[in-house]
C-alpha cells in the first residue's frame, strides 16, 4: 500500500496536528520494515506500506531554511514545497504561506506517481478541496483527517463581518469534498456529530482520538525529577498549563484563580509554552505565584510534564467538536490529574469523565477552579488515585501505538475498497 499525506506542518512542528502526522507516518513506515503482527498491539500490522509526505519548508515557529527540499527521514519520504520565509506571527504572512503551499502541493500532486490513498489534513484550511480533483485526475482514494473544523473556527472567532457571504461560501467549499471523501477521520464523537450535520455519511466517519507517545512520555517520580529542583518547585503544589497559548484556549479562569490564590505561597501556577498571548498573560498574572517558561526540549518533556501536581486544559465555549485539545493525553501519559476548563459537552470533558481523572470547570467559574485546586492539594490520596486512573485510561485508549494501528487499518480498508 502506498500512502501520501498532505499538510503544511510536519516533523518538528509545535502544533498538535504536525506532531500527530509525524507519529503516524513514521509508524506506518516502520510497519513496512516489520510486517506481520506488532507484539504490542493485537491489530495486524500492514506490510508493504510506502509513506510520502508533502509539507511546507516554513515551520509553525519560523523558516526551516536548512532542511532539504526532499529527504527520507525515519523511513518516510518527505517533500517540502516553498513557504513564506518569515514566522507565522503576521496574518498576511500566514495567508501568503498558505497560498504558496496550495499551489506547490497541488502541482506536486498533479504530476507525481499515483498513490493508493491520499490523506489531507486541515492546514491550511481549504486543503480538503483538492481531494475530489486528485481522485478524478490520479484515480486515487482520498481521506480527510479532520483535526479541526473550518470555517466553524473562524465563525466562532468572529473573523467575518455580520453580513459577509464568506462563511456560507467556505462551508460549501469544505462540505463538498467532505461529502465525497472515501473516509473522514474525526478526533472525537462531538466532531463526528458536527461532520454528520454537514452531510457527511456516518458510515464514512471514523473516530480516532489523538494521542501521546507512551515511549517518550512516562510518569517521573517527584523525588527523582530534576525539573522541580531546577525551577524551585520541589515544595510547591504545581498547577501547570503546557502547550501553545492559542486563540482557542481561554485563560481568564486560570489567571483569575492564580490571582485569587496569590497569597498561598505553596501553590505555583506554571505556564510552559509560547504564543501570541504570553506577554499579556504575564502582565495579567502579575504575581509571585506564577512562573512562565518556554517550550521544553523533547528529551525533557517527561520531566516537565511530570512536575505538575495537576494539569490544566482549556477550551473556549462553543468550540466543542470544532477543536479538540490533544494536551489532555500528554497529561494522562505522565499519570497526572486534569482540571479541564471548557464546555461540558466537549470531547475533553468526556475523556476526563470517563477516566475519572479530574475536574470539569465551566469557563469563568474561578471559584470552581480554586475549589478543585484546594481539594487536590488537601487530599494526596484522591490526587494519586486520579493520576493512576489517568495513566490506566491512557495506556488502554490513548497510546500512540493503539491509535496509529487503528488508522493503519482504516487506510487499508479504503485502499482495498471495503
* Three-point CA angle 280, 282, 285, nearest 5°: 110
Predicted local distance difference test score (pLDDT) of residue 66: 57
Its CATH architecture, for the domain 2-211+399-416, is 3-Layer(aba) Sandwich (3.40)
Per CATH, the number for 222-398 is 3.40.50.2000
- The residues of the chain that CATH labels 3.40.50.2000 are 2-211+399-416, 222-398
Bridge partners for 120 per DSSP: 6, 144
Would you give per-residue pLDDT tens digits along the chain (418 residues)? 999 999 998 987 666 788 999 999 999 998 654 443 343 444 444 456 999 999 988 765 554 455 678 899 899 999 998 876 554 445 666 777 788 899 999 999 988 888 999 999 998 888 999 999 999 998 899 999 999 988 777 667 656 666 666 767 777 778 899 999 999 999 999 999 999 999 999 999 999 999 999 999 999 999 999 999 999 999 999 999 999 888 888 899 999 999 999 889 899 999 999 887 788 888 888 777 999 999 999 899 999 999 999 999 999 999 999 999 999 999 999 999 999 999 999 999 999 999 999 999 999 999 999 999 999 999 779 999 999 999 999 999 999 999 999 999 999 999 998 7
Predicted local distance difference test score (pLDDT) of residue 36: 39
Predicted local distance difference test score (pLDDT) of residue 65: 52
Predicted local distance difference test score (pLDDT) of residue 96: 79
Amino acid at each position: 500500500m502506498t500512502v501520501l499525506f498532505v499538510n503544511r506542518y510536519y516533523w518538528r512542528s509545535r502544533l498538535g496536528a504536525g506532531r500527530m502526522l509525524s507519529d503516524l507516518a513514521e509508524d506506518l513506515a516502520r510497519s513496512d520494515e516489520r510486517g506481520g503482527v506488532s507484539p504490542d498491539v493485537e491489530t495486524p500490522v500492514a506490510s508493504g506500506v510506502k509513506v510520502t509526505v508533502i509539507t511546507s519548508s516554513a515551520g509553525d515557529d519560523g523558516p526551516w531554511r536548512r532542511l532539504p527540499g526532499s529527504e527520507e527521514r525515519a523511513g518516510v519520504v518527505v517533500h517540502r514545497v516553498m513557504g513564506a520565509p518569515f514566522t507565522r506571527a503576521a496574518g498576511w504572512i500566514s495567508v501568503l504561506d498558505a497560498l504558496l503551499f496550495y499551489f506547490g502541493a497541488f502541482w506536486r500532486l498533479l504530476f507525481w506517481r499515483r498513490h493508493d490513498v491520499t490523506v489531507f489534513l486541515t492546514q491550511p484550511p481549504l486543503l480538503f478541496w483538492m481531494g475530489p480533483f486528485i481522485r478524478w485526475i490520479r484515480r486515487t482514494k482520498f481521506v480527510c483527517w479532520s483535526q479541526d473544523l473550518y470555517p466553524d473556527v473562524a465563525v466562532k472567532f468572529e473573523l467575518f463581518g455580520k453580513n459577509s457571504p464568506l462563511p456560507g461560501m467556505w462551508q460549501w467549499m469544505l462540505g463538498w469534498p467532505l461529502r465525497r471523501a472515501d473516509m473522514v477521520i474525526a478526533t472525537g464523537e462531538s466532531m463526528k456529530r458536527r461532520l454528520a450535520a454537514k452531510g457527511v455519511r456516518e458510515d464514512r466517519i471514523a473516530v480516532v482520538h489523538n494521542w501521546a507517545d507512551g515511549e517518550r512520555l512516562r510518569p517521573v517520580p517527584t523525588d527523582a525529577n530534576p525539573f522541580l529542583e531546577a525551577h524551585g518547585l520541589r515544595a510547591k503544589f504545581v498547577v501547570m498549563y503546557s502547550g501553545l497559548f492559542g486563540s482557542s484556549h481561554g485563560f481568564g479562569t486560570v489567571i483569575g484563580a492564580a490571582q485569587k490564590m496569590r497569597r498561598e505561597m505553596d501553590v505555583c501556577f506554571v505556564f510552559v509554552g509560547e504564543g501570541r498571548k504570553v506577554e499579556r498573560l504575564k502582565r495579567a498574572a502579575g504575581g509571585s505565584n506564577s512562573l512562565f517558561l518556554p517550550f521544553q526540549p523533547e528529551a525533557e518533556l517527561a520531566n516537565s510534564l511530570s512536575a505538575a501536581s495537576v494539569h490544566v486544559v482549556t477550551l473556549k465555549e462553543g468550540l466543542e467538536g470544532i477543536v479538540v485539545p490533544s494536551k489532555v493525553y500528554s497529561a494522562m501519559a505522565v499519570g497526572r490529574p486534569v482540571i479541564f476548563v471548557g464546555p461540558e459537552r466537549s470531547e475533553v470533558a468526556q475523556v476526563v469523565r470517563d477516566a475519572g481523572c479530574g475536574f470539569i470547570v465551566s469557563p469563568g467559574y474561578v471559584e470552581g477552579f480554586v475549589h478543585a485546586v484546594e481539594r487536590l492539594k488537601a487530599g494526596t490520596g484522591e490526587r494519586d488515585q486520579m493520576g493512576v486512573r489517568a495513566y490506566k485510561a491512557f495506556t488502554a485508549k490513548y497510546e500512540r501505538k493503539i491509535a496509529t494501528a487503528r488508522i493503519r487499518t482504516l487506510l487499508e480498508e479504503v485502499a482495498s475498497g471495503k
